[in-house]
Structure 1
Amino acid sequence: MENQDNETFYTEDDLLQSKTGLTPTDEFATIRMEGYSVEFSDTFSRSWDFMKPHLGQLLAYTLLCFFSYLTLSFIVPQIAGYMGTLGYLVGAIVNLTMISALLAGFYSYYQKIYENDKVSFQNLFDGFQHIKELALYQILVVVILVIPFLIIFFIAQKLGVNDTVDIFDTNTYETFTIGFYLFFVIPSCLIFTLYIFTPILIVVARMNFWSAMETSRKLVMANFIGILGFVVGFALLNLLGLLFLGLGLTITLPLTFAATFILYTKLIEKNGGGTNFGGDFYADENAPLDAF
């Protein structure tokens, strides 16, 4: 059922409307040189106003995402088990890709709202239109994260801390809890922060995965502490939602994606020059690639 209530959308005083495109033509070069701030409270407030008129559909979709995640978490390992050790890695990538496509649907849905288009529940599944680029992005992130993950076990074996170290043995995680957090959880948080805008750039700006990752990295590095604070703030918010039997996540999760989308549009507005050309960002003559 399509939502016809366009009157409930945010006003022009809050955010730019469809006349401003969602693809940065210069890789956010302006604000990367001039700097930018991340206003958590303002972004939170705008995000809530942005998603509130569509809360019913968003809650239903979030529950669907949870159900899909639990289902995939049960089915994929069963299938992967027949493939041996490699199967678990393949299964993890498949699981991540499917969930990533589901979650990316929030951005396609929010794009429709931002552009004052008619929006329906089906738009939440538009993330699957970009599943190839999302999959490549997830694979590369997994590769990046596996490196520190393997280092800790390699060092442990070299030092003879535990001669029975097994990457797939849950007891190993208990033995190396501190090292696990230092070499895996912390780098994971930093990597997630660097590439926080990648799914948005893939979905709404139609970039390929590498262009999206590089653009996100360059933008985040212009104010890494600010974006990291944004990530930590909403991570704590979702943790709070998890405490209420997980039901709070049905609100905090779509709110987190709304906040990320709103932050992105605010940066587009501040940078100026957004377009709607999309496609292969680096190959487009209107999107010159700068070196770093």
Structure 2
Amino acid sequence: MPEHPLPDAGTCLRDGWLLYKQEPLLLSGATILMGIICGVAGMIPFAGALVYPPLLGGLYSMIIRLERGEAITINNLFDGFQVFLPLIIASFLMSLFIGIGVFLFILPGLYLLIVYGFTNLMIIDQKMDFWPAMEASRKLIHAHFWSYGLLALVIAVICVAASIPLGLGLIVAAPVCLAAQYRFYRALNFSEDPSCSE
């Protein structure tokens, strides 16, 4: 359990914005490049599913490095390819489980969508394999379900709103929201005590 109260959604978004402002052109540029690559890959069967998870992991890597005071470059967008298989397998399994959960009365799928929210972060930040990362994310978020669930809902609303004008708002909203999510993740101090009750 964290020693201090968890930050609310507003605090996470504020801190995410402050982190984004440290390298706005680089983070937005990486988001644009990711969109272009995913758009091109989407024209090839199954290619989009193979490039999106590692590129998302690369954005997380840039945010993590920036928060730690490390220098970042556009090349860090491709950091996720260093843990390609765990990210791809985790993405496939999460999609499968969430899909089954949605089929089973919807609510189980929504629950899994939320509790698997830290999986990619744990693979990138902790170099976990896919299943330990999924389980660690599930246990950690389950213990703080409503706090994280509210942040996830706010992030989802922001991203939907930002995507309306041809997705242009996501150039800023996406990295800010990922940084806000990382802020909450960091606040849980999971690296010091990754275990938590079911």
Give the TM-score, by structure 2 length.
0.88
- Among candidates 253, 264, 273, match of residue 192 of structure 2: 273
Superposed displacement of residue 64, structure 1: 1.4
Superposed displacement of residue 111, structure 1: 2.0
Contact 2:55-2:77 within 8 A present in 1 as well: yes
Superposed displacement of residue 230, structure 1: 0.7
Report the Cα distance in structure 2 between the residues aligned to 1:189 and 1:252, rounded to whole angstroms.
22
**Does the alignment pair 1:252 with 2:173?**
yes
- Among candidates 107, 111, 114, match of residue 64 of structure 2: 111
- Report the CA distance shift for 1:290/1:51 in structure 2 as closer, same or farther (over 3 A): closer
Contact 1:40-1:230 within 8 A present in 2 as well: yes
SS at match of 2:42: helix
SS at match of 2:33: helix
Superposed displacement of residue 67, structure 1: 1.5
Superposed displacement of residue 69, structure 1: 2.2
| Rg comparison, structure with higher value | 1
Report the Cα distance in structure 2 between the residues aligned to 1:188 and 1:256, rounded to whole angstroms.
22
Corresponding residue for residue 118 of structure 2: 197
Letter of the structure 1 residue corresponding to residue 182 of structure 2: F
- Report the CA distance shift for 1:291/1:272 in structure 2 as closer, same or farther (over 3 A): closer
Per-residue CA deviation, residues 111-151 of structure 1 (Å, 9 max, x unaligned), is 221222222111121011111100110121132134356x5
- Report the CA distance shift for 1:250/1:188 in structure 2 as closer, same or farther (over 3 A): farther
Per-residue CA deviation, residues 215-254 of structure 1 (Å, 9 max, x unaligned), is 1111111121111111110110011111223110111011
Give the TM-score, by structure 1 length.
0.61
- Report the CA distance shift for 1:40/1:147 in structure 2 as closer, same or farther (over 3 A): closer
Corresponding residue for residue 219 of structure 1: 140
Report the Cα distance in structure 1 between the residues aligned to 2:143 and 2:5, rounded to whole angstroms.
8
Letter of the structure 1 residue corresponding to residue 188 of structure 2: L
Gaps (5+ residues) in structure 1? 1-29, 77-90, 153-181, 275-286
**Does the alignment pair 1:64 with 2:33?**
yes
Superposed displacement of residue 290, structure 1: 7.1
SS at match of 2:72: coil
RMSD after superposition: 2.4
Report the Cα distance in structure 1 between the residues aligned to 2:150 and 2:139, rounded to whole angstroms.
17
Contact 2:143-2:196 within 8 A present in 1 as well: no
Superposed displacement of residue 291, structure 1: 7.4
SS at match of 1:255: helix
Contact 2:140-2:196 within 8 A present in 1 as well: no
- Report the CA distance shift for 1:58/1:290 in structure 2 as closer, same or farther (over 3 A): closer
Percent identity over paired residues: 25
Contact 1:105-1:127 within 8 A present in 2 as well: yes
- Report the CA distance shift for 1:273/1:141 in structure 2 as closer, same or farther (over 3 A): closer
Gaps (5+ residues) in structure 2? none
Letter of the structure 1 residue corresponding to residue 121 of structure 2: I
- Report the CA distance shift for 1:119/1:148 in structure 2 as closer, same or farther (over 3 A): closer
